[in-house]
Amino acid sequence: MSNQAEAMRPPTEDEAQKAGEALEALASALTPAGALPIQVTSNGETTRIELPKALGQLVLDLLAHVSREEMVTFVPYGAELTTNQAADLLNVSRPHLIKLLNDQEIDFHKVGSHRRVKSEDVLAYKRKRDTARSSALDRMQQLGQEADAA
């Protein structure tokens, strides 16, 4: 996309449709090993490349999200995030994120008067939070089954 503002919007219906078509075509082209062969023609010259399984899956995942008209943001590992970006990544409000930072749940540093958070710290917190939630749900399910059996 040409600029930041254009990138910060959900895909259009047409983009979602094209992404769905691309997803189907590319998924059917995967090699048995999971690599994604791609052929690109530019200025009359054709170049064939084969994306390794991990990169091919990344492309397919991107297209799957866009085909569902979901907005996608790439966050490079090691990137420094603003508090707004970190809150968006965790799907929490900015005030809640500030509380997490002040409670030292997530490391941060200041650049002038602004807080900055490393993406890997936000993702580590997210994994920890999601694991705790999953464990709590499993425990609730177990307790419910024990209550039903009694």
Residue with tokens 């997530």: 106
pTM surpassing 0.85?
no
Q: Two tokens at 12?
A: 């259009």
Residue 34 has what pLDDT?
Answer: 93
One pLDDT digit (tens) per residue for the chain, 150 residues: 344 445 568 899 999 999 999 999 999 999 999 999 999 999 999 999 999 999 999 999 999 999 999 988 888 888 999 999 999 889 899 999 999 999 999 999 999 999 999 999 999 999 999 999 888 988 899 888 888 887
Please tell me the distance from the alpha carbon of residue 86 to that of residue 78, in angstroms, as a whole number. 13
User: What does the pLDDT read at residue 1?
Assistant: 36
Per-residue model confidence (pLDDT) at position 27? 95
Amino acid letter at 40? Answer: V
Which residues have a Cβ under 8 Å from the Cβ of 121 and sit 6 or more positions away?
106, 107, 108
Domains of the chain with bracketed CATH: 4-67 (no CATH), 80-149 (1.10.1660)
